[in-house]
Structure 1
Amino acid sequence: MTLTLVTGGTGHLGRDIVDRLVRDGRRVRVFARSPSTRSDVDWAIGDLATGVGLREALHDVDTVINAATYSPIARRGGVRPIDFFRSPSAVDVEGTERLLSLSGKAEVRHFLHVSIVGLDEATLPYARVKLAGERLVRASNLPWSVVRAMPFYYLLDKLLAGLVWLPLWPTPTTLFNPVDTSDVADHVVACAFDGQRGERPEIGGPEDLDLVAFARQYQDARRLHRKILPIGLSEAKARGMGFVVSQGVRGRLAWADWLQRNAPGSRSAA
């Protein structure tokens, strides 16, 4: 039976990808800095940022799904001034380059890279780092695929939660369609094993709404009452900030349903 290596397999998207692979009866190895408690996968301990353990992790691997990334904004759930000037590249650029090189030496048959919709026009340093890593994949001699996804619901939830202490929420009116990681995982796994290669259909959520509408649904679900101040952005500014509407595949789970499933205190939110 073939073996699939998942990097970033302990993150939100990575866990969903691993769940789909296991559900489909595939052999899975997760490359992570520390193992979780699940025993239905193989664990390879190491660090993509340094390369420690990576060569051993690729032994006998046929397919690599690279879902690893390092976003300071996502980790802290908020934006700081430094995020407009620089973003670490050790995982997304140097780590991707190292993973590609060692995957070639290990004769990996398919390298699938998870990326972000709209990177070509995005201006934030993290987006430029992600684009640099994606370009390395596209230039590789490996059989590769790139799947671009819209920002995830859990990130939107964290960002809006960071505004709760404010009585007034300045909120852009531009349209976009964030998506749930479970829908992205279904699409990624399908693309990994359908025999096709190259640039694959990007994936976004089912609803094209402005951020004001997403914020109001969030407040309704969390029983909050805050005044929202709509802010208009030019199309160029919106695209530079990553506010785009994806083309291609659409997920099924709506934002309001995600909020209900992930209400504070619910099992899925734990």
Structure 2
Amino acid sequence: MALTLVTGGTGHLGRDIVDRLVGDGHHVRLLARSRGTRADVEWAVGDLATGAGLQEALHDVDTVINAATYSPIARRGGVRPVDFLRSPSAVDVEGTERLLSLCEQESVRHFLHVSIVGLDDATLPYARVKLAGERLVRASALSWSVVRAMPFYYLLDKILAGLAWLPLWPMPTTSFNPVDTSDVADHIVACAFDGIFGERAEIGGPQDISIAALAGQYRDARGLHRKILPIAMSEAKARGMGFVVSRGVRGRLAWADWLQRRYSVTRQVA
């Protein structure tokens, strides 16, 4: 049976991808810095940032789904001044370059790279790092695919949770269409095995929604009492921050429905 290696498989998106693959009957190997407890996959201990264990992880692999990334904003759930100055590249650039080179040596049939919608106009250092890694994939001699996705609901939830202590939330009126990782995973797995290579349709959520409205739905779902201050943002500034509406396929799960699933059992009142 053909073997699929997933990098980033222990993250939010990666777990959904692995669930889809296993559910569809694929033989899955998961690259991680330490072995996990999941018994329905092979575990390969390795690190994209250092290259440790990568060659062994790629042995007999037919398809690679590269969902690994290192975003300081996502890890901490908030933005700091340093995020406007620099972002680590060891995973997304050097790690991607190393992985591509080893995939060529191992004659991997298909390399699918997960990226972000709107990178060409985005100005944040993390976006520039992601774009540099994506360009390495596009220049590769491998049979590659690139799937760009909009920001994920779980990350927005994490960021808004970090603002919950503020009595007033200044929020742009710019619209975008974030998406749930479950819908992105469905699209990625379909693209990995349909025999089509190159730039694939990007994926966003089903609803175009302003950031202010999205924050309002979050506030209401959590039962918070906060005032939202809508603020205008130029189109150029919005695109620089990555706030765009994707052009491609649309996921099915709306933000409001995701919030209901997340907060319907235990609602925090503040």
Distance in 2, matches of 1:200 and 1:120, equals: 16
Aligned AA for 2:171? T
Tell me whether 253-262 or 112-121 shows the greater mean CA deviation. Answer: 253-262
State the 1:44 CA deviation.
0.1
Aligned AA for 2:190? A
Distance in 1, matches of 2:103 and 2:261, equals: 38
Partner of 1:218: 218
Partner of 1:39: 39
TM-score, length-scaled by structure 1: 0.97
Partner of 1:260: 260
Distance in 1, matches of 2:49 and 2:260, equals: 36
State the 1:260 CA deviation.
1.4
Partner of 1:145: 145
1:192-222 per-residue CA deviation (whole Å, 9 max, x = no partner) reads 0000000000000000010011011101110
Partner of 1:12: 12
Partner of 2:170: 170
Tell me whether 127-136 or 211-220 shows the greater mean CA deviation. Answer: 211-220
Structure 1 portions without partners, runs of 5+: none
Partner of 1:161: 161
Structure 2 portions without partners, runs of 5+: none
Partner of 1:109: 109
Aligned AA for 1:164? A
1:214-267 per-residue CA deviation (whole Å, 9 max, x = no partner) reads 01110111001100011110000000000000011000000011111122867x
* RMSD between aligned residues: 0.8
DSSP 3-state at the match of 2:61? coil
DSSP 3-state at the match of 2:93? helix
Aligned AA for 2:195? G
Partner of 2:239: 239
- Identical residues among aligned pairs (%): 82
Matched, 1:205 2:214: no
TM-score, length-scaled by structure 2: 0.97
Matches within 5 A, 1:46-65: 46-65=46-65
Aligned residue pairs total 266
State the 1:35 CA deviation.
2.1
Distance in 2, matches of 1:231 and 1:10, equals: 37
Partner of 1:83: 83
Runs of 4+ that moved beyond 6 A:
none
Partner of 2:125: 125
